[in-house]
Structure 1
Amino acid sequence: MGGTGRVAWLVDAALVLAGALAATVVFDALDLPSASLFGGLLAGLVRGLTVPRRLVVPRPATTAAQALIGVSVGALVDVDTLAAIGEDWLPVLVVVLGTLALTVLAGLLMRLQPGISPVTGAFAMIAGGASGITAMSRELGADDRMVAVLQYLRVLIIVVLMPVAATVVFGAAPGSGGTLAEGGGPGWPAGLLFSVVCVVVGLPLARLLRIPVPALLGPMLVAAGLDLSGLSGGAQVPAALELGAFLVIGLMVGLNFTRASLRTIGRALPLALVIILGLIAACAGLGAVLTVTTGASALDAYLATTPGGLYAVLATARDGGADATFVLAVQVLRLFVMLLSAPLLARWLRRAGPGEAA
């Protein structure tokens, strides 16, 4: 990138970032949950749909944001909550497998649109791990362009509807979760050191072990281990870093939507919207099942079974006073099941149905 191009990129990025910060201030003043994430989402969406030139959040920034979110959630691990999850493993597993079944059904319904194969339809509707599913879709025989657009369309719809549903329907109280700097911890210097250690150790370890979404899960597991062992001393991610991390994730999702990408779904958009909304409603029904069969509240169960938008789910759970550890446990279990099932699912669907239409 030449000097002029670099300056243009910096100006463009600065304007989007300023818009994200302004939206965050407004959303925070309105007492909306996860203000920084949705501020970033709005700014990225406006930029993506109004300017033809693509703007992408640099990979180091998204990796750092995912890692910090992983640390912040790992630091919330509580022994009693984990014990409760262990007692409820059967209904949780049933709900996760039910989500996988709904995903397959939604993908098969996408075949009603000419030109969409069973593999493409299923991968476009898999609930969880949008980036991982998109990355593996071409190799497994799906149309990766269609998969990417519909995956992020689903994420967009979820992150827009979720805070409204969480607050209005399920009684989330914005701000009741507090900030991560609160709670009598050792202060931000210790929190900064704790965060750096978790990221530096957790990220390469997760990559070495080939854990899905290593930037999130590696630092999270290290943070959880340090917290459960008492070695963390109660340290947490400084609040400013957490807010910045969610803002970056919001920008990443919003910027994925451009006018060109929306044109790629063309005639499939009406059907896709109906199926996505139906999938969201069906997963909310699974949340009701989880509430009946476990001790989870309606808010916890709803957030735990939301079909995608992991970072928005974690932000809303943390800010709305939900049991973030329970929510994360169910979401991560589903993430593993979906990503591990994807190759087998693709193989089965290729045998069961015809290929892409020309």
Structure 2
Amino acid sequence: MGRGARAADLALVVVAALALTLALDVLDLPAPALFGGLLAGLARGLAGRLRLAVPRPVTTAAQGLVGVSIGALVDGATLEAIGRDWLPVLLVTAGTLLLSVLAGLVLRLQPGVTPVTAAFAMVAGGASGVTVMAGELGADDRTVAVLQYLRVLVVVVLVPGTAVTLFDADPGSGGTTVDDAGPGWPAGLLFAAVCVLAGAPLARLLRIPVPALLGPMLVAAGLDLGGLSGGAAVPVPLEVAAFLVIGLVVGLGFDRDGLRAVARTLPLGLAVILGLVAACAGLGALLAATTGASALDAYLATTPGGLYAVLATARDGGADVTFVLAVQVLRLFAVLLAAPLLARWLRYTGE
């Protein structure tokens, strides 16, 4: 497929994603842009003969804008509350890692799946980073990629509906637009540009995981907490576009060849993933019982991955985004730091 044909193909998928986003918004469903992009990307990924991908600079920019959007919501009072609840949060994070290890042990029951492949495939969180590390440590990176993104897909599909039906999330109740708060879209655009352009290189320099997201987020949070942002926020159209792109990236990550290659592993893998999601929801109930967090906040904070879907749902449903983000980011750091050690240990104990 030539460059022009590929661009036209991608443009068609984007148009479909926009149409789905509008339809989901009319139905008052949570995170419509993220979910619309996901559905359009998934349909194209499974239907097309040739794989289609969102250009890397566009993906990086979308991650950065999401980071700025979330970082601008950081609230000092909520951070203090997390500090008071540091022990339950730390224990829940450790519990998630333990559940990932147990899930990997179960997946090893599938013939042909090595211990290190099972470990990386079931690590909860940091799908892109884990997939990159997998090949370097001797895992089957295709199996890891498919199962990691299958987990992300399951989370993206389940989280919005679960938040509304079980935890009374109120779609459309969270956040404010730049039209009725802050200094307006020009300042918001400048604020977003500064955070993205400064944050990503800084995060890479400091070797922070997922630098495109966490770097701009940390810069935005720092400026906001320091009173230097002037109340600026990412303009709403850019924020919507960013979440739509993230949905497309996840959806387009699935293709028929990849699914065929690990078809025999999928039934057990899906069952283990669903079990992991349910077990993490149990950790969420424990977190809510031992802290001042609401059931919705705790559920979103302990969901195993799907960070962008979780943040979009939290922001759109009126949850405490700062609390959710803090617990999710703590787990993300722990997962990416512990994954190589866990994989090596499981590989050596299986030999």
Q: What TM-score comes out, normalization by structure 2 length?
A: 0.99
What residue in structure 2 maps to residue 233 of structure 1?
Answer: 230
- Contact 1:103 1:127 survives alignment (8 Å): yes
User: 1:228 and 1:301 mapped to 2: Cα distance?
Assistant: 24
Separation of aligned partners in 2, 1:305 and 1:273: 19
Which of the residues 1, 13, 20 maps onto 2:10? 13
For 1:326, the equivalent position in structure 2 comes to: 323
Change over 3 Å in CA distance of 1:180–1:331 after alignment to 2: farther
**Cα separation, partners in 2 of 1:168 and 1:182, compared to 1, 3 Å:** farther
Matching of residues 50-199 of structure 1 within 5 Å:
50-181=47-178, 184-199=181-196
Identical-residue share of aligned pairs (%): 73
Task: Read off the aligned partner of 2:19 and give its amino acid letter.
Answer: A
* Per-residue deviation, 1:185: 0.4
Do 1:38 and 1:250's aligned partners in 2 also have CA atoms closer than 8 Å? yes
Q: What SS does the corresponding residue of 1:185 show, helix, strand or coil?
A: coil
| Residues 304-348 of structure 1, C-alpha deviations (whole Å, 9 max, x = no match) | 000010000000000000000000000000000000001211221
Amino acid in structure 2 at the alignment position of 1:212 = P
Equivalent of residue 49 in structure 1, options 24, 46, 64: 46
**Aligned equivalents of 1:140 and 1:287: distance in 2?**
32
- Summarize deviations over 1:75-102 as a string: whole Å, max 9, x none: 0010100000000010000000000000
Aligned match for 1:340, one of 337, 342, 348: 337
Residue 294 of structure 2 is aligned to residue 297 of structure 1: yes
Shift of 1:182: 5.3
Stretches of structure 2 that go unaligned for 5 or more consecutive residues are none
1:184 Cα offset (Å): 2.0
Q: Measure, in 2, the Cα distance between the counterparts of 1:298 and 1:179.
A: 23
| Aligned length, in residue pairs | 351
Q: Distance in 1 between matches of 2:206 and 2:6?
A: 36
RMSD: 0.9
1:250 aligns to what?
247
Instruction: State how far apart, in whole Å, the 1-side matches of 2:156 and 2:179 are.
Output: 26
1:6/1:182 Cα in 2 relative to 1: closer, same or farther (>3 Å)?
Answer: same
Q: After the TM superposition, which segments of 4 or more aligned residues of structure 1 sit over 6 Å from their partners? A: none
Whole-Å separation in 2 of the counterparts to 1:67 and 1:15:
24
CA distance in 2, matches of 1:147, 1:41: 20
Out of 223, 227, 231, the position equivalent to 2:220 is 223
After superposition, the Cα gap between the structure-2 partners of 1:188 and 1:231, relative to the gap in structure 1 and judged at 3 Å, is: same
Return the offset for 1:262. 1.2
8 Å CA contact retained: 1:191, 1:236:
yes
2:209 corresponds, among 209, 212, 223, to 212
Separation (CA, whole Å) in 2 of partners of 1:178 and 1:90: 29
Tell me which moved more, 70-79 or 256-265.
256-265
Is the CA contact (8 Å cut-off) linking 1:72 and 1:180 kept in structure 2? Answer: no
**Corresponding residue for 2:311?**
314
Kept in 1: contact 2:35–2:247 (CA 8 A): yes
Q: Which structure 1 residue ranges, 5 or more long, are not aligned?
A: none
The question of whether the paired residues in 1 share the 8 Å contact of 2:179 and 2:185 is answered with no
Cα distance in 1, alignment partners of residues 281 and 13 from structure 2 = 34
Aligned partner letter, 1:315: A
TM-score (norm 1): 0.97
Partner amino acid for 2:50? R
Equivalent-residue separation in structure 1 for 2:64 and 2:219 (angstroms): 11
Is 2:16 the partner of 1:31? no
* Equivalent residue number for residue 275 of structure 1: 272
Q: CA offsets, 1:150-184, max 9 Å, x none?
A: 00001101101111100000110000004442552
Cα separation, 2, equivalents of 1:182 and 1:36: 19
CA contact (8 A) 2:17 2:36 kept: yes
